[in-house]
Amino acid sequence: MAPSVLSRRKFLTRSGLLGCSLAASPLMTPVSLAAAPWDQRLVVIILRGGMDGLDAVRPYGDANFAALRPGLLAPSQPSGHDLDGFFAMHPDLGELMPLWHQGELGFVQAVSTPYRDRRSHFDGQDLLEAGTMGLGQRRDGWLNRLLQLQSGVVARTAFAIGHGDMQVLHGAAPVSDWSPDADLALSPQAEQLAGLMMQEDPLFASALSEALALSRSSVELGSMAGGDEGTQDMAEAMMEMPRAAKGKAHLKLAEFAASQLRGETRIASFSLNGWDTHSYQKRGLGAALKRLSDCILALKQGVGPSVWDRTAVVAMTEFGRTVRENGTGGTDHGTGGTMVLAGGAIQGGKVYGRWPGLGEAALYNRRDLMPTGDVREVAAWIMRGLTGTGQSDLENQVFPGLQMGQDPGFLR
């Protein structure tokens, strides 16, 4: 993060010295937002834990598939929603079928980052968000490097308080963060004292002011509505803050992203956890897929038809999982995986990628789905179409060392 940006950790430390009452969200990741000068919207969702793409989008047309997963595909388990006669979508993604039929949902099979063999979630996610060929090469994120190539990029007026970071948006370009359920409560006297203490620290004073504003109650909003023009503008912005049902934290991320994408924001990124399905995969994966489905539908509803038509949603994970189920009803860390694409800008109704097959000789190390594509290539072509960024810049600056090849046609 650039030196001029106040870190959430520093904010929490300093606010603790003031005696603030801060009830931070238990979520591990915030939603990150950035404004940009193009009209299309891009939402990147990081699926942390290694999504089993072979269960999310099942290659039932492969003659080897059923024998590799006799428990996960037991007769009592619904076969899923047929997509194209070869692939079927997991039953818990069923609410997305209308998007598939409308050409607003697609998938990319047998893709991965350059990460191989060690299968560490932390390393895999670092490489996924850095977008580089190897670990330790860069510490900024590929979405931020995209922003650095644009003119007129400014940070949105949102604020982040919480645990975890979106490395994919870290870097020199200005980016604003927000996390749900931040509750910063100060008495009027404490607010006045804080203001006096922060006179010599304009950055923190501004951050504190935003945090307090975002934490106002609906009663305070009502009283602000009768104020001057500047106060009314703040009230209107705060009224756009989502109020999702309790226990639906993932929807708060999607709804807040949608509220910003309706305005000047052009890029939003957040992550969803719960994809590490070593055991009892039927239960765990279904719940995670339902959360992903909910987020995509919330984004569509939240941005409205005109913005949705200019939106691409890209969901990606650090690696796939083994083709064989294990002895505890789950799957272990693998290699090749699946990406989910959605939005009115997506040329959907199609499963992209070159299918390598599931015969033992075709597997990576005889255990994993063989990668035949690079997640960075998919992201690069989508960014190329949405933002007009040159292919050379994408290959050399955003994703150093990437060869994009021919345009696969992911966008309308």
- 45 located within any domain: yes
Q: Which range has the worst mean pLDDT, 72-76, 136-140, 207-211, 234-238? A: 234-238
**pLDDT digit string, tens, across residues 363-401:** 999 999 999 999 999 999 999 999 999 999 999 999 999
Print the domain residue range for 274.
8-180+242-398
Q: Determine the pLDDT at residue 199.
A: 61
Task: Specify whether the CB–CB gap between 73 and 285 falls below 8 A.
Answer: no
Instruction: Please report whether residue 112 resides in a domain.
Output: yes
Determine the pLDDT at residue 268.
92
Does residue 209 lie within any of the structural domains? no
C-alpha 237/C-alpha 302 separation (Å) is 15
Q: Does 407 fall in a domain? A: no
Q: Does a structural domain hold residue 392?
A: yes
The answer to whether 15 and 186 are in contact (CB under 8 A) is no
Nearest Cα to Cα of residue 342 among 377, 299, 385, 306 = 299
Question: What's the N-to-C CA distance of the chain in angstroms?
Answer: 34
Which pair of structure tokens corresponds to residue 388?
């007009």
What mean pLDDT do residues 313-327 have? 98
pLDDT greater than 80 at residue 297: yes
- CA dist 237 and 64 (Å) reads 54
pLDDT at 92 over 60: yes
With respect to residue 208, please indicate whether it lies within any of the assigned structural domains.
no
C-alpha distances in Å from residue 240, one per residue of 33, 221, 257: 15, 11, 11
Domain CATH for 250? 3.40.720
Question: What distance in Å separates the CA atoms of residue 386 and residue 363, rounded to the nearest whole number?
Answer: 34
- Domain presence at residue 149: yes
Strand-pair partners of 109:
338
Backbone angles phi, psi at 333, to 5 degrees: -60, 135
For the chain, how many structural domains are there in total?
A: 1
Name the least confident of 87-91, 210-214, 315-319.
210-214
Task: Examine residue 224 and state whether it is found in any structural domain, yes or no.
Answer: no
Residue scoring higher pLDDT (349 or 214): 349
Contact indicator for 379, 314 with CB cutoff of 8 Å? yes
Is residue 253 pLDDT above 50, yes or no? yes
108 or 179, which is more confident?
108
- Please state the pTM of the whole predicted model: 0.79
* Mean per-residue pLDDT over the chain, rounded: 80
